[in-house]
Amino acid sequence: MNKRKRLVLTGLIMASFLFVVPVFGASSEPPASILIDSLSYLYNGVNFDHEQHLEVTNDCSVCHHHCFGNGAENEQCAKCHANSNGTSSVACGDCHIQKPFTVQHIREMEANPKRYHLDMVGLKAAYHLRCLNCHVEMDAPTGCVDCHERTDTGNQFYHSGDYAPIGGGAGKVHE
């Protein structure tokens, strides 16, 4: 795996996972590992090895994309944020809402028609955009259960495990 891919992977993963934990501040030492479990009703939380990902990149802004005042990544963002300072939090959940499709959230957005960032993804999508895309690029694990084990509720929801249908007439479980 080349060095650039490792750097990108580490950065994306760090951004996704570190944004759900309490702010530890840019000048403080980051925690060695972090349990990310804010979306854990279908899957168990992920024990994120922060130290391992720091070995891939020492540039925190690769993952924490809005925290260090490194400028906008996207040219559309740069129109307003070209000289923006960093944010005060590294937690994904401080900007990305956990449940973006609730009636309450949609009404809040509709109440302000001049609001920017209408296209901001929810928390789950933020994780997957940062983590999964980097994992694909770095040839790291990409399956759902590669990083987090499915809960019993998740097995029920996805009709898997003990809840998988029996098929084929031979008594085999269909996954």
Structure-block tokens of residue 165: 């249908």
Tell me: the pLDDT tens digits for 61-81? Answer: 777 777 666 666 667 677 777
CA distance 49 to 155: 26
Look up the pTM and report it.
Answer: 0.62
Residue 161 reports pLDDT greater than 60: yes
Residues 6+ away with beta carbon under 8 Å from 154: 41, 42, 43, 160
Count of domains observed in the chain: 1
pLDDT confidence tier of residue 157, bands split at 50, 70 and 90 = very high
- pLDDT for the residue 29: 77
CA distance 12 to 35: 16
CA distance 137 to 48: 19
pLDDT confidence tier of residue 133, bands split at 50, 70 and 90 = confident
Residues of the domain holding 25: 3-173
CA distance 43 to 33: 18
